[in-house]
Structure 1
Amino acid sequence: MGEQGATAEGERLRRWRLVLGADGAEGTGQTLTGRDARIDEAMDSLYGEGGPPGRRGTGRTAGLGASAPSVARWLGDIRTYFPSPVVQVMQRDAIDRLGLGALLMEPELLEAVEPDVHLVGTLLSLSRAMPETTKETARKVVRKVVEDLERRLAPRTRTTLTGALDRSARARRPRPRDIDWDRTIRANLGNHLALPGGGSTVVPERLIGYGRADRSLKKEVILCVDQSGSMAASVVHAAVFGAVLASVRALSTRLVVFDTSVVDLTDQLDDPVDVLFGTRLGGGTDINRALAYCQSRITRPADTVVVLVSDLHEGGIRDEMAARAAAMTASGVRLVALLALSDEGTPSYDREHAAMLAALGAPAFACTPDLFPEVMAAALENRPLPVPDIGA
């Protein structure tokens, strides 16, 4: 084997040693030193005992210690050695495997964490138990994630929805009091009718109105969001989108969150962080009660889109939920059910309820944040939704 081949083989064995951990070291013949040894120690702290195959039973006791400083050092190590997406996965595993949720209430630990949507969900579930000294740090972590999401999602959402609302407004015939005669005349200058005594007049075949400036003619959107524990990432994205939709002047937006009770957070939509800290992740689910509240706030069904963000695992009265959904769609409301509003794919969900909603013309599907603007635009224009596989 040449020098290059030997180098490649050594690199391959080194990588296998890092994957397998100390328990698999004998087969590779590799001894780790320097940076590799520190990477191995960071991984073994998380995965060494009871971890995945190869990193199990290494002889060391897995764990990060029972103090925030030791965890903070470990967080600093993994941020040094791994790219951000890997850091986020390892943080999530540490919270799930080693019970670090309580330590997240330590301000010094939060300052060392790599913020992401899943961490926000964990912090929100702990928010009511947090001491005041930690809450401000937690808000800073949540705000960083929210601002990152807004930068990525807001511009395209506003552009897409504004275009959809413009098309919708142009397609409607304004009432006489709402006609913009200057724009109507300019749009119909090519349509002339000869008058009996000579001359001609413009025939307004196409009427253009002030409709979008009139609040009473705004399209109405209600985001109805399940805040049970499994929906944490969806709640975070829904709060951001709720704030973005509220900033579109041609829309009237309402945000409702629910578990077994219903909370209207519309008055907090100017700050998604306030919205998120107004939620209570981890409760039960009463979709029927939430839809009843939304139904009570609808004044113009034909101009209303209700987006139900839920995995549809109903804990309330199932038959009443189905009847309420049927009544809403029959009245002209455009009802859309998002099984998830996240990048995680389709979650576990109630297929019977998804099929029921689909039969009513209310498709149920998982939606990524990047697709959400197109879904909303299609719903506002009352056209088929841009989703390949709709229904149960």
Structure 2
Amino acid sequence: MTTDNRLRRWRMVLGGDAEQSCGGLSGHDQRMDNALAALYGGGAGQGRGRPASGGERSAGLQSSAPDVARWLGDIREFFPTSVVQVMQRDAVERLNLRQLLLEPELLSAVEPDVHLVGTLLSLNRLMPEETKQTARQVVRKVVDDLESKLAQGFRAAVTGALNRAARTNRPLPRDIDWNRTIRANLKHYQPEHRTVVPERLIGYARAAKTVKRDVILAIDQSGSMAASVVYASLFGAVLASMRALKTSLVVFDTAVVDLTAQLTDPVDVLFGTQLGGGTDINRAIAYSQSLITRPTDSIFILISDLYEGGVRDEMLRRMADLCAAGVQCIVLLALSDEGAPAYDKHNAAALAELGVPAFACTPDRFGPLMAAAIERRDLAPFAAAN
């Protein structure tokens, strides 16, 4: 790398403070720097990322859709999609652009991602009708993209678990569970041949076309759970499409809304949520209990950061009752790529004492998690990985 290129890069990183030592910018570089300065500051006398004194900036995104739309077009020209999504997120948080996202012209210029969907859902009740259609198109694009990346592997993991859930002593060769078969036939070990003679085969029976498991997803729709709501809605729709499962989905804040009827389309589910507000986990568990008719064949997944605004003792008692009845209960502190959020550690510890694991789960691990739950395998490895 030449000295000029090195100085140019340092000038882009440091902003206007480095003008004298690193030299000025022109053309494409100047336009790129202006786009960065509009969001992060970086004019003369201020470093990149530090606002100018008195809150002034060398450039800015004024409160009008044309200025923001022009800026959105610039950053899409200068930076890769992953960087654009980060800058958009920062713009919404730093410059309070939520109100401008209610304008359809601006929405059409935005690079869609999970976090933008969360922002749009939090504004759902405020949107004028002409904006809602554009917002649905943005959300649809994100959901379709996530489905193409995640749904096939998730469906395969769950289907495989359902096929393996029933055992048989007359399995097809491809369905033999060799680990269990060998353990069951160790008494038939032949030293002279150094092998086990399997007098009894143990294997997996192919799932019959009946409902094998009931799955209840209860999703906390407080603002901090936005990404989890998006992913859970997608996975809920996939689960609902599988005839061997009976899937119910409820979202809650201080009230509980049953969105099971909308599970044919995750976009409909998402627009049925209202991000923000308080949290009454106890009420959500009480409603979920009313949906359970086959406790030993039911999986209850609570997706929440566990900050309870309802009656804590009642919440814990209800979870204990579910476990005692044979329901497999799991708490996901988050279902997203960001890792574990801030959460109520006292409630998580209390649930752990009841035998209910509480941990964060990335979207790519949710399929294996569901498979383990269906087969009633130990979930400790999933908790240990977080």
TM-score range, shorter chain: 0.7 to 0.9
Is 1:213 paired with 2:209? yes
Is 1:11 paired with 2:11? no
Look up the equivalent residue of 2:12 and give its one-letter code: L
Q: Give the counterpart of 1:325 among 319, 327, 333.
A: 319
Q: Give the counterpart of 1:76 among 73, 77, 94.
A: 73
Is 1:389 paired with 2:384? yes
Contact 2:254 2:277 in 1 (8 A): yes
Q: Hey, what does 2:107 align to over in structure 1? A: 110
Q: Hey, what does 2:96 align to over in structure 1? A: 99
Q: Give the counterpart of 2:352 among 347, 354, 358.
A: 358
Percent identical pairs in the alignment equals: 62
Q: What is the Cα deviation at residue 72 of structure 1?
A: 0.5
Q: Hey, what does 1:305 align to over in structure 2? A: 299
Residues 1-392 of structure 1: pairs in structure 2 closer than 5 A: 8-28=2-22, 30-48=23-41, 55-57=50-52, 60-170=57-167, 212-215=208-211, 218-385=212-379, 386-387=381-382, 389=384
State how far apart, in whole Å, the 2-side matches of 1:390 and 1:325 are: 24
Contact 1:22 1:55 in 2 (8 A): no
Look up the equivalent residue of 2:331 and give its one-letter code: A
State how far apart, in whole Å, the 2-side matches of 1:54 and 1:315 are: 37
Higher mean C-alpha deviation, range 57-66 or range 311-320: 57-66
Query: Unaligned 5+ residue runs, structure 1?
Result: 1-6, 174-180, 188-203
Contact 2:17 2:47 in 1 (8 A): no
State how far apart, in whole Å, the 2-side matches of 1:63 and 1:208 are: 63
Q: What is the Cα deviation at residue 231 of structure 1?
A: 0.2
Q: What is the Cα deviation at residue 163 of structure 1?
A: 0.7
Q: Hey, what does 1:192 align to over in structure 2? A: none
Q: What is the Cα deviation at residue 248 of structure 1?
A: 1.6
Look up the equivalent residue of 1:8 and give its one-letter code: T
Look up the equivalent residue of 2:308 and give its one-letter code: E
State how far apart, in whole Å, the 1-side matches of 2:83 and 2:209 are: 48
Contact 2:213 2:298 in 1 (8 A): yes
What is the RMSD computed on CA atoms of the aligned residues?
Answer: 2.5
Contact 1:47 1:62 in 2 (8 A): no
Contact 2:165 2:207 in 1 (8 A): no
Look up the equivalent residue of 1:40 and give its one-letter code: D
Contact 2:158 2:370 in 1 (8 A): yes
1:298-337 deviation line (CA, Å, top 9, x unaligned)? 0011100111100001111001111111111111111010
Contact 2:16 2:47 in 1 (8 A): no
State how far apart, in whole Å, the 2-side matches of 1:86 and 1:287 are: 36
Q: 1:370 to 1:27 in 2, by over 3 A?
A: same
State how far apart, in whole Å, the 2-side matches of 1:55 and 1:31 are: 19
Contact 1:169 1:212 in 2 (8 A): no
State how far apart, in whole Å, the 2-side matches of 1:302 and 1:292 are: 18
Higher mean C-alpha deviation, range 353-362 or range 249-258: 353-362
State how far apart, in whole Å, the 2-side matches of 1:208 and 1:75 are: 54
Q: 1:69 to 1:360 in 2, by over 3 A?
A: same
What is the count of residue pairs matched by the alignment? 356
Q: 1:348 to 1:165 in 2, by over 3 A?
A: same
Contact 1:364 1:390 in 2 (8 A): no
State how far apart, in whole Å, the 1-side matches of 2:368 and 2:238 are: 14
Please report the TM-score for the alignment, with normalisation by the length of structure 2.
0.87
Q: Hey, what does 2:194 align to over in structure 1? A: none
Q: 1:14 to 1:211 in 2, by over 3 A?
A: closer
1:198-248 deviation line (CA, Å, top 9, x unaligned)? xxxxxx998998963234xx2011111000000000000000000011112
State how far apart, in whole Å, the 1-side matches of 2:47 and 2:352 are: 40
State how far apart, in whole Å, the 2-side matches of 1:260 and 1:110 are: 30
Contact 2:278 2:309 in 1 (8 A): yes
1:49-90 deviation line (CA, Å, top 9, x unaligned)? 798756542974442111111110100000000000100000
Q: 1:117 to 1:270 in 2, by over 3 A?
A: same
1:252-306 deviation line (CA, Å, top 9, x unaligned)? 1111100000001000000000000000000111110000000111001110011
Query: Unaligned 5+ residue runs, structure 2?
Result: 177-199
* SS of 2:343 mapped into structure 1: coil
1:139-162 deviation line (CA, Å, top 9, x unaligned)? 000000000011111100111111
Q: 1:52 to 1:283 in 2, by over 3 A?
A: farther
State how far apart, in whole Å, the 2-side matches of 1:147 and 1:210 are: 31
Q: 1:228 to 1:94 in 2, by over 3 A?
A: same
Contact 2:122 2:276 in 1 (8 A): yes
* SS of 2:139 mapped into structure 1: helix
Contact 2:210 2:243 in 1 (8 A): no
Q: 1:209 to 1:233 in 2, by over 3 A?
A: closer
Q: What is the Cα deviation at residue 8 of structure 1?
A: 2.4
